[in-house]
Amino acid sequence: MLDASNQSDTRERLLRAATEVFAEHGFEAATIREICRRAGANVAAVHYHFGDKKRLYTAIFDTVFALLRARRTAFLAPDAPPEARLHNYISALFDEIFYCDGDARRCTQLSAIYLTEMLHPTEVLDRVAADHMRRDAEELYGIVGALLDEKADSETVVDCAASVVGQILYYYHAEAMISRLHPDRPPVQERIDELVDHVWHFSLGGIKQVRSRRQANDEPALIE
Partner DNA sequence: GACAAGACGAAACAATTGTTTTAAGCTTGC
Partner DNA sequence: GCAAGCTTAAAACAATTGTTTCGTCTTGTC
As a whole number of angstroms, the distance between CA 97 and CA 161 comes to: 17
Find the part of the chain contacting DNA (CB under 7 A) among 26-34, 65-73, 144-152, 211-219: 26-34
Find the part of the chain contacting DNA (CB under 7 A) among 44-52, 64-72, 128-136, 166-174: 44-52
CB of 35 to DNA, least distance (A): 8
The interface partner of residue 199, options being its own copies, DNA, none and the CB cut-off 5 to 8 Å by kind, is its own copies
DSSP for 167-213 reads: HHHHHHHTHHHHHHH-TTSPPGGGGHHHHHHHHHHHHHHHHHHHHHH
> Judged by CB under 8 A, does residue 119 bind its own copies?
yes
Closest CB to DNA among residues 7, 217:
7
* Closest CA relative to residue 165, chosen from 92, 101, 220: 92
As a whole number of angstroms, the distance between CA 163 and CA 62 comes to: 30
- Whether 40 and 5 have beta carbons less than 8 Å apart is answered as no
As a whole number of angstroms, the distance between CA 82 and CA 204 comes to: 10
The interface partner of residue 183, options being its own copies, DNA, none and the CB cut-off 5 to 8 Å by kind, is none
Find the part of the chain contacting its own copies (CB under 8 A) among 3-11, 53-61, 98-106, 133-141: 133-141
As a whole number of angstroms, the distance between CA 65 and CA 54 comes to: 17
- Whether 57 and 14 have beta carbons less than 8 Å apart is answered as no
> Judged by CB under 8 A, does residue 77 bind its own copies?
no
As a whole number of angstroms, the distance between CA 72 and CA 95 comes to: 9
CB of 197 to its own copies, least distance (A): 9
Footprint of DNA (CB under 7 A): 1-2, 4, 6-11, 30-34, 40-49, 51-54
Residue numbers at the binding site for its own copies (CB under 8 A): 25-26, 28-29, 81, 83-84, 115-121, 125-126, 128-130, 133-134, 137, 155, 158-160, 162-163, 165-171, 173-178, 180-182, 185, 195, 198-199, 201-210, 213, 220-224
